[in-house]
Structure 1
Amino acid sequence: MKKYLLLLFLVASLFAKAQDTPISAFLEKWENSKNYLVEIAEAMPEDKYNYKPTERQKTFRDQLLHIKGNMDWLSTTYFSKEKKKDAEKPSYTTKAEVIAAIKEAFDNTSTIIKKASPEELKEIVEFFAGPKTKLQILNLLQDHVTHHRGQLIVYLNLNDVKPPKYRGW
């Protein structure tokens, strides 16, 4: 009986692993990344949204909106069948508007990526840094968020705001 249970456990484990594709792994991480970035955005007082550590750096608000713009660009340019039209960029003036825009960008990216197939990730696309696979673009989506989120944590610390606890997954 123990042998059968062990065999059943092993088969179930293998089946579960087979379901873990780069897309499903990305989407799990993406949702956690969204929640973590939103916590960071919520932690900064609204009166500090125009804070920037040096003259050459972006403000806290501009960092968040840069992250949003990059998500919109990469997801629609490389993964969407319907290309986004160049519309007039809305002005996000309040903390609540910025946070809502960030959430929407994450959710829109998730919706677009859910439609991608594992085979599609092998496709090579033209990118300003040279030809890349769509898998590399997918990795860049997360890496870009992580890069700027790290900067935002420094902004919080420089303003004596305790950053939210890190979580990797």
Structure 2
Amino acid sequence: MKNYLTGLRYVTGLLAINMALTLVGFAQAAQPDAAKRMRPSAGDPATVERMVADWTRAKAFTKEYLDAMPADGITFTPSKDIRTFGQQMLHLTAAHFGFASQATGVNPPAGLDVRNLEKMKEYEDKAALTKIVLDSYDFIIDAFKNLDAAKYNEKFKLFGAFDTTRLGAFEKAFEHQTHHRGQTTIYLRMKGVKPPNEKLF
């Protein structure tokens, strides 16, 4: 009887393990399809709406940073070997023009020297800086809105070096502006200014 019970427990254990492994395998097999269903496809209205909403929110958030910094803080830097507050903002501005034009073929505004924005004294003025930064957000938002949805997944080399898609270029640009805006938080702190609250929505 004892041997029978021991054997029964053994068989039951094997069945339980086999069932668990089967369920895990099923879940793993189903996962890619589930993820695919959850991810909006390129060209889908949900993708366009989400991207435009995120970029519009990012523009408003960056404006809060610009508004928060006093006029005499535009040329402030925590250390001489890094960008000033204004140059950080101009760096992300240049990237907006660069990423968008690379992804769509639309040129930046005529006469704008995108590559040398950080060196231009005129943008040490708070009003001028704010305008060019916000204009760059409008440029990249409009560029995305006007990009043919059929080209979203078209692969190309961003700046001739990085393999991505045209939609991917806009996603990388968003990541880039988030990074550099975030860097300026300490600039505000060191000027005695409370940074804007997080703006997730």
Aligned-partner Cα distance in 2 for 1:85–1:108: 9
Aligned 1:78-117 pairs, distance under 5 A: 78-80=103-105, 82-84=106-108, 87=111, 89=113, 91-117=122-148
Q: Deviations over 1:26-65 (max 9, x none)?
A: 1100001000001101101011111111122100011111
Q: 1:137 to 1:88 in 2, by over 3 A?
A: closer
3-state SS, counterpart of residue 198 of structure 2: coil
Q: 1:84 to 1:107 in 2, by over 3 A?
A: closer
Aligned 1:64-83 pairs, distance under 5 A: 64-80=89-105, 82-83=106-107
Q: Which has the higher contact order (CA 8 A, sep 6+)?
A: 1
Identify which range, 123-132 or 37-46, moves more after superposition: 123-132
Name the amino acid aligned to 1:31. Answer: T
| Rg larger for | 2
Corresponding residue pairs, total: 150
Aligned residue number for residue 30 of structure 1: 55
Name the amino acid aligned to 1:61. Answer: G
Name the amino acid aligned to 1:34. Answer: K
Q: Flag structure 2 segments of 5+ consecutive residues without an equivalent.
A: 1-43, 114-119
Name the % identity. 24
Q: Deviations over 1:106-152 (max 9, x none)?
A: 11111111012333110111125432111221111110110001101
Name the amino acid aligned to 1:166. Answer: E
Once the 2 structures are TM-superposed, how far is the Cα of residue 19 of structure 1 from its aligned partner? 3.3
Name the amino acid aligned to 2:67. Answer: E
Name the amino acid aligned to 1:160. Answer: G
Structure 1 consecutive aligned stretches of length 4 or more whose deviation exceeds 6 Å? none
Aligned 1:16-165 pairs, distance under 5 A: 19-21=45-47, 23-80=48-105, 82-84=106-108, 87=111, 89=113, 91-127=122-158, 128-165=160-197
Name the amino acid aligned to 2:167. Answer: L
Aligned residue number for residue 13 of structure 1: none
Could you state the TM-score of these two structures normalised by the residue count of structure 2? 0.69
